[in-house]
Amino acid sequence: MSLLWLALLVSATPSAGASDAPPRPFPWPSGAKAAVVLTYDDGMDTHLDNAAPDLESAGLRGTFFVPGHSESLAKRLPEWRALAARGHELANHAIFHPCLRKPAGQAEREWVKPEYALESYTVERIRDEVAAMNTTLLALDGETLRTFAYNCCDTTAGGQSYVEALRPLFLAARAGEDRIAADVAALDPMLVPSWAATNVTGPELVAFAQKAQDAGGLAVFQFHGIGGEWIPTSREAHRQLVSWLAAHRQTVWADTFKRVMAHVVAEQKQLAAR
């Protein structure tokens, strides 16, 4: 073999560390291609009256991020306890739902009471508040492994991030960003992106789930009112999404945030050990 041919052969051979191949698909259970989580914030009556019945009619379960000051929780506590007993997840949304009153680049949230504005919190205060909410939820469902949703998707208290302060308390936490998690293997369980679905149609909801299906990733929906109350999504649109998930259960795994993230964390540990 001539030296010229050898040089050409070496130059055409990919280096050991280089590859244009896409990353391996994330291993979802039972051959599923993607995962979807439906979450519901703020402990509303429409969650008991509309969201849960819609889910259960399709054999699905959701995650309900409940704040301690929820009026529905106070008035209908046995129904919330029964909701958990039927396989839905009760998850932590702090006690007083503290948010930034003046988020950067956004309009002032005048509805945030000054005493519950995260600008006036310390990292220690928000950690203590959500830890106390864990105890409240323990009294409801007897569970010790818990997930969290950042109120208003805000992750700072007194100008400092409190993500790391909460990491020891939770399996995972839902953030914002209005996107799917495409690279699930590299996902930080304490900063799981979600889409705040508001005043959208059923086809728009389904399209977001399809993005996860196409990417082999994770789509987390962030709902508030279902068929009423504040920040509403119509019940018709919600049912269209639920029906689509039921029809695609062989390829899209739809479950609670806790169950999905428990699988993600376990698989991440296995992948890291290889």
pLDDT at 78: 98
Q: What kind and span of H or E run contains 264?
A: helix 257-273
- Tens-digit pLDDT profile for the chain (274 aa)? 443 333 433 343 444 444 455 567 899 999 999 999 999 999 999 999 999 999 999 999 999 999 999 999 999 999 999 999 999 999 999 999 999 999 999 999 999 999 999 999 999 999 999 999 999 999 999 999 999 999 999 999 999 999 999 999 999 999 999 999 999 999 999 999 999 998 899 999 999 999 999 999 999 999 999 999 999 999 999 999 999 999 999 999 999 999 999 999 999 999 999 8
Residue 123 in contact with residue 165, Cβ under 8 Å? yes
Neighbours of 265 (CB within 10 A): 14
What CATH architecture applies to the domain 30-273? Alpha-Beta Barrel (3.20)
Residue 218 in contact with residue 186, Cβ under 8 Å? no
Give the type of residue at 151. N
Beta bridge partners of 160: 157
Q: Please provide the DSSP assignment of 130-147 as one string.
A: HHHHHHHHHHHH-----E
Does the predicted TM-score (pTM) go above 0.75? Answer: yes
What is the distance between the alpha carbons of residues 218 and 241, in angstroms, rounded to a whole number?
Answer: 15
Residue 151 in contact with residue 129, Cβ under 8 Å? no
Residue 222 has phi, psi (to 5 degrees) of -115, 105
pLDDT at 7: 42
Dmax over CA atoms of the chain, in Å, equals 86
Tokens 């129904």, located at residue: 79
Crossing angle (nearest 10°) for helices 77-85 and 123-141? 80
pLDDT at 22: 58
pLDDT at 274: 84
pLDDT at 6: 36
Q: 3-class SS at 44?
A: coil
Q: Please provide the DSSP assignment of 138-177 as one string.
A: HHHH-----EEE-GGG--EETTEE-HHHHGGG-SEEEEEE
Crossing angle (nearest 10°) for helices 202-215 and 235-247? 30
Residue 87 has phi, psi (to 5 degrees) of 105, 0
DSSP state of 181: B
